[in-house]
Amino acid sequence: MAPTPNGKVAAVKKKINLWAWFWILLGALYFLVPLYGTFDFSLREKRGVLSLLAYQNVLADPRFRDSFTYSALMALATIVVGLLLIVPTAYWVHLRLPQVRPLIEFITLMPFVVPAIVLVFGLIRIYSGPPLALTNSDPLTNFLLMCGYVILSMPYTYRSVDTGLRAIDVRTLTEAAQSLGAGWFTILFRIIFPNIRAALLSGAFLTFAIVIGEFTLASLLGRPAFGPYLVYMGNNRAYEPAALAIISLALTWAAIGLIQLLSHGRPGQEQVGGVH
Amino acid sequence: MAFLELTNIRKQFGQAVAVEDFNLKVDRGEFVSFLGPSGCGKTTTLRMIAGFEIPTVGRVAVDNVDITDKAPNQRNVGMVFQSYALFPNMTVAQNIGFGLRIRRESESAIKERVDEMLALIHLEQKGPSYPSQLSGGQQQRVALARALAIRPQVLLLDEPLSALDAKIRVSLRAEIRAIQRKLGITAIYVTHDQEEALSISDRIVVMSQGHMEQVGTPFEIYNFPQTAFVASFVGTLNTTTAEVVDSARGVLQIDGARLETAEKLDGRQKGDKVTIAIRPERFSFASEQKKANVVDCRIENITFLGSIVRIQVSIGSGKYYMDTFNNPFLELPKIGDKDQVTCSREAVLVLKS
């Protein structure tokens, strides 16, 4: 029996599906095999048996808790300051100054061009003496570090916020709110922020991930952050760094999961009605 | 005393003049439409009333209070946008109550007003829904309710029906007009759709290239267009250049045929050129008794438009449209037939140059 045209289409579809699965599998293996290797290695601290000893050592180490807590708090401060700086800027650029968007984009890309080591030496050189001596006390050095983190996370935060603002009609929503009597503060906090929530969360968690793993700024400013701790462990221990890598990965996935959880299930993102 | 007054308005963006020499007085409760093609300045004028643009020159006053320099949120002006502009993060009820919350009204007063507005737009059950769960027509009704909830002095509507399909447009424009009449609110409506403007307005401002071309009732705008632009923009119109034969008696000549107009040709000399306009429905086939304004023609084309049959005839070298009601019991002429058409003297309009 000769194959029908429909039969041919089905065969081609099946072939395409098989190739798709092949590439997905290959990609998954590329990521999962090294991960499995790291995980497997992290379980072999006790000779001859699989154990969670490396994880216990890491979690029992007060320097792990302290450095992680310090970096998490720094990340939260960076997120708040970064968003307060970038959201109004990006909003104003969208609303009133679209012609300066290329300039702003260029500025936000600077951290990719200027290495962190150059940035931190610049910060130390300018802020270690009068008139703004910020490196003389821990709180002020923390502040300086946080400012550095804001700069480092700027490309990611700005792009997230910019994408969010592009997805909504900023100008019309602003004008609608204005015509109803709203001022700038109300517009920003009750209209703009809630409608780019997913973008804000995405920017926030990217910032979190950057700050948690950052080494150069924290190390050269002499702050007890998680990044220097990771390097210290890597230099001095065998199995614990592997356990730390897995823990960091788990925390990253938890952060991504949190983004999904917090930005999911809110109406207002899709049109379901036709014209009635 | 006019309720809304725009005096000597001019708006310039850089070197480009968007609106010029715009003067308009709108009475309380009046429904005025700004009609014109894209880029004619109608939306810019509306935005100046809303406060989103500041006039380069001129004054905007509502109820005799100068609001020219007031910020948009300091004016009590409601606005409905083409893209609805509902806040996606808020429910329908929250959207409608937004302006009242800004005004710090009590929760009970807000709820009462929101319910009243929902009833007005016949969406009583949709209070807890989000905008994305509504159709386009429903969203625009909510936008209207939101704009009305704050009891604005003036309601501005910026092409509110453009994003909707034809059937919804017709029903919603009737609803908008009914609500406006019921509330007695002063409304300014921007549209490029002449049928919409003609059907909904008390008065129409026809605009072109930043200028007011003509202000009048829909009847005046349609039947007595004063300029060639209005004549060409509003409805279908036959326009042609005619030569003055006898200015005292209103005799003109087009393509070798003589026509008489009831309009005055004061100041025109024999041989002067004027632009004349005749609506297609003012032409008819000439009966044998009719003597005046009868011209020979040839049937060039016949188009069936449902209730109307549009016949294209040639008079001399010019081509003209003639509309006649569809009557299934009357025989239509055939393409190529020679016949005679006529129109009354009043149907021949002489346009301002």
**Three-state DSSP state, B61:** strand
Of B102, B132, B136, the CB nearest to A275: B136
Predicted model pTM: 0.79
Neighbours of B291 (CB within 10 A): 8
Q: What number of residues does chain A have?
A: 276
- Res. A82: pLDDT tops 80: yes
What is the distance between the alpha carbons of residues A34 and A42, in angstroms, rounded to a whole number? 12
A2 at interface of B, judged by CB pairs closer than 8 A: no
At residue A268 the predicted structure's pLDDT band, cuts being 50, 70 and 90, is: very low
Compute the mean pLDDT over every residue in chain A, rounded to the nearest whole number. Answer: 86
Check: CB of residue A147 under 8 Å from CB of residue A100: no
- Reference B350, options B219, B257, B260; nearest CA is B260
Amino acid at A163: T
Model confidence at A137: pLDDT above 70:
yes
| pLDDT for A271 beyond 50 | no
The rounded percent of chain A whose pLDDT value lies above 70 is 88
% of chain A surpassing 90 pLDDT: 50
Within 143-182 of A, beta carbons closer than 8 Å to B belong to: 168-169, 172-173, 175-182
CB contact under 8 A, A269 and B88: yes
The β-bridge partners of B305 are B308
CATH 3.40.50.1820 fits A58-263, yes or no: no
Compare all CA atoms of chain B with the CA of A170 and give the residue at the minimum distance: B85
Residue of B nearest to A185 (CA): B102
**pLDDT for the residue A1:** 42
Q: Which among B180, B175, B156, B179 is positioned nearest to B164, based on CA atoms?
A: B175
Ranges under pLDDT 50 in chain B? none
Query: Cβ(A13)–Cβ(A21) under 8 Å?
Result: no
Question: How far, in Å, CA of B33 to CA of B221, rounded?
Answer: 12
Residue type, position B183, single letter: L
pLDDT over 70 at A124, yes or no: yes
A267 — pLDDT class (breaks 50, 70, 90): very low
Contact B294, B285 (CB under 8 A): no
- CB within 8 Å of A223: residues ≥ 6 apart: A70, A141, A142, A145
Tell if the CB–CB gap between B73 and A182 is shorter than 8 Å. Answer: yes
pLDDT at residue A155 tops 80: yes
The answer to whether the CB of A41 falls within 8 A of the CB of A242 is yes
The DSSP secondary-structure symbol of B182 reads: H
Mutate to test the interface with B, among A95, A99, A180, A200 (most CBs of B within 10 A): A180
Question: Would you state the structure tokens that stand for residue A57, as one six-digit string?
Answer: 């050592």
What's the gap in Å between the CA of A174 and the closest CA on chain B? 9
What separation, in Å, do the N-terminal and C-terminal C-alpha atoms of chain A show? 50
- A11-25 pLDDT, tens digit each: 666 667 888 999 999
Dihedral sign computed on CA atoms, order A140, A143, A149, A151: negative
pLDDT over 70 at A276, yes or no: no
Quick: pLDDT tens for A188-227: 999 999 999 888 888 888 898 889 889 999 999 989 999 9
pLDDT of residue B220: 93
What is the per-residue pLDDT for A12?
A: 65
Please state, in angstroms and rounded to a whole number, the distance separating the CA atoms of residues A12 and A15.
5
Express each pLDDT in A65-76 by its tens digit.
899 889 989 999
- Domain limits, chain A: 1-42, 58-263
- Cα B209 to Cα B232: distance, rounded to the nearest angstrom: 15
Cβ–Cβ of B133/A168 closer than 8 Å?
Answer: no
Residue B135 exposed, middle or buried by CB count within 10 Å (0-12, 13-18, 19+):
middle
* pLDDT score of A150: 95
Integer angstrom CA distances of residue B304 from B162, B235, B316, B325: 27, 17, 24, 10
Which of A179, A269, A273 comes nearest B50 by C-beta?
Answer: A179
Residues of A in contact with B117 (CB under 8 A): none
Which among A179, A195, A270 is the nearest to B89, CB-wise? A195
Chain A touched by B165 (CB under 8 Å): yes
On whether the CB atoms of residues B194 and B234 are closer than 8 A, the answer is yes
Asked whether the beta carbons of B30 and B200 are under 8 A apart, the reply is: no
